[in-house]
Amino acid sequence: MVLHTVNQNSNLLDDCLTVAAPGDSLLLLQNGVYALQTRQDELQTASTSGIALYVLSDDLKARGLSSAGDDTIQSADYEDFVDLVVAADRVIAWH
């Protein structure tokens, strides 16, 4: 399993999703969390294809956003982030 981290809401996310495979995890962080607001279709497709989606809750809160009510994506704190890194065979940091 590969953990992908994405820190911008741009075509960086598209490039990441080009490489991400079913069974991988994707963590949105920093400005990547804006994808929750503007890239719902892509995220829904990724979720349906078997990619586990996470968003770093502190980065979301810092921007006045919330993932409440969005069941395609799981909120993650820094401890969860560490767990994801440890569980992954490798991490690809898209930045």
Query: Binding residue for another protein (CB under 8 A) from 18, 69, 79, 86?
Result: 18
CB nearer to another protein: pick between 8 and 75: 8
End-to-end CA distance of the chain: give it in Å, rounded: 20
Instruction: Note whether 87 binds another protein by CB under 8 A.
Output: no
List binders of another protein among 20-79 (CB under 8 A): 20-22, 24
Q: How many angstroms from the chain centroid is the CA of residue 58?
A: 13
- Classify the phi-psi angles of 23: left when phi > 0, otherwise alpha if psi is within -120 to 50, otherwise beta: left
Chain residues in the site for another protein (CB under 8 A)? 2, 11-12, 14-15, 18-22, 24, 89-90, 92-95
